[in-house]
Amino acid sequence: MPQTIIELLSKAAQATGEDNCRDGNIVRLPATGTVIMTGDIHGHRRNFERVVNFADLPNNPDTHVILHEIIHGGPEDAKGGCLSYKLLFDVARYKLQFPNRVHTVMGNHDTAFISGGKVMKSGKEMNRAMRAAIEREFTEKADNIISAIREFLLSQPLTVRCENRIWMSHSLPADRLIDKFDPEVLNRPLEIEDVVRPGAAYILTWGRRHSQALLDKLADLFDVDLFVLGHQPQEKGWCQAGKNLLIIASDHNHGCVLPIDLTKSYTVQQLADSIVALTSIA
């Protein structure tokens, strides 16, 4: 069992690096078909299942799915350990089933797990909680499982770009750290230093409350028109956080997803009108 999981994660990491849409740390989607963008998942298995059902990839060969922030949240073991790694294993299986159409992008909880840093959620330090659960399940093979998880998480790209000028990522650099952000991180292999503050991947995945001036600057820098992010909790499932920014969440009962027609141009209002509540999906 442990060796099977280690091999699964290794194969998923390889598939992530070899994704046909991968260009450096960017996933570049074609101007055909549909992409389904999710918000943070945080161990919410039912919502992940709804995303899978909604995408119906076996019957929709031109559809892509973007997933991020899978770990830290959801079910716990009898001692309060975080079991979200089990959902991560299922995401790895989903990636291997559709290697060029399922794309995971790096989130801040991923950078924290890779680096071994601390990250709080609902009053709990999540890396400690997840490691404890892994140690209880996998005993002497726990360190090998943890290393394999880190390998898979580090293999992830940082963002998705669409030909219709929409950018999708977990977050964006915050105003106070933008001057330290190196955009070249999008074009070169990731190193551990990138995921530790003030590394470029850390800065990209941890930013919150972006000013409109910064969003306009980043739109020029990345040559896009609209941003779709997660990271910032959304009690109602989504919000418009700027004239060119939507934030969505997929980790609770008011969570949502955003299907985007890759052949069409959008305004931010048209994107907002396209949002689908996860509870509406069987």
HSE (side-chain half, CA atoms, 13 Å) at 83: 12
Domain with residue 86: its CATH number is 3.60.21.10
User: Span 75-90, mean pLDDT?
Assistant: 97
Domain that holds residue 22: 2-280
What's the domain count of the chain?
Answer: 1
C-alpha distances out from residue 246 to 102, 209, 257, 267, Å: 21, 12, 11, 11
Q: How confident is the model at residue 196 (pLDDT cuts 50, 70, 90)?
A: very high
Q: How confident is the model at residue 106 (pLDDT cuts 50, 70, 90)?
A: very high
- Which pLDDT score, from 0 to 100, does residue 129 have? 97
Closest CA to 204 of 170, 233, 228: 170
Beta 124-125 vs 120-121: how paired, if at all? antiparallel
Q: Which of 49-63, 109-123, 171-185 has the lowest mean pLDDT?
A: 109-123
Mean model confidence pLDDT for the chain: 97
pTM above 0.85, yes or no: yes
